[in-house]
Amino acid sequence: MLPSTPSIPTPLQKTQQHLGLYLLLEMQNHGDTLHGLAQDTELCPEILRRLVHGQCSMKAEQALRLAQHWQFSPETLIHWQQDIDSLMASARPVALSV
């Protein structure tokens, strides 16, 4: 028998509901505050707050600014957002008419 491997969290797991949790982790890793990040990226603090709380989806311009600040690919953020949007759409029940 093969030993079981531990589960590694990914953006596709159902426990992950919004990109904001990843953004919070990046903020913590870089020592950023919401207002400091808003100032450094020239993004509206209210938009960042809504992103972090999962109240809106990330736009391409926002991903670009955050990725430049954290020095990684903006495509990474966009793909995470797309994965989460797709997961959430597939989790919603579909009404069937009979």
Is 40 part of a structural domain of the chain? Answer: yes
Q: What is the pTM for the complete model shown?
A: 0.67
Is 98 part of a structural domain of the chain? Answer: no
Is 10 part of a structural domain of the chain? Answer: no
- Token code pair at residue 36: 């400091």
pLDDT given at position 74? 87
- Give the tens place of pLDDT for each residue, 74-89: 888 888 878 877 877 7
The candidate with the shortest Cα–Cα distance to 67, out of 35, 58, 53, 56, is: 58
Is 77 part of a structural domain of the chain? Answer: yes
Is 61 part of a structural domain of the chain? Answer: yes
Domain coverage including residue 34: 20-86
pLDDT given at position 97? 64
CATH code at position 33:
1.10.260.40
pLDDT given at position 65? 95
Is 43 part of a structural domain of the chain? Answer: yes
Is 5 part of a structural domain of the chain? Answer: no
Q: What is the mean pLDDT of residues 58-83?
A: 89
CA dihedral 62, 11, 71, 27 (to 10 degrees): 80
Classify 29 as helix, strand or coil. Answer: helix
- Give the tens place of pLDDT for each residue, 2-58: 455 444 445 444 445 678 888 999 999 999 999 999 999 999 999 999 999 988 888
pLDDT given at position 96? 59
Is 9 part of a structural domain of the chain? Answer: no
Q: How many structural domains are present in the chain?
A: 1
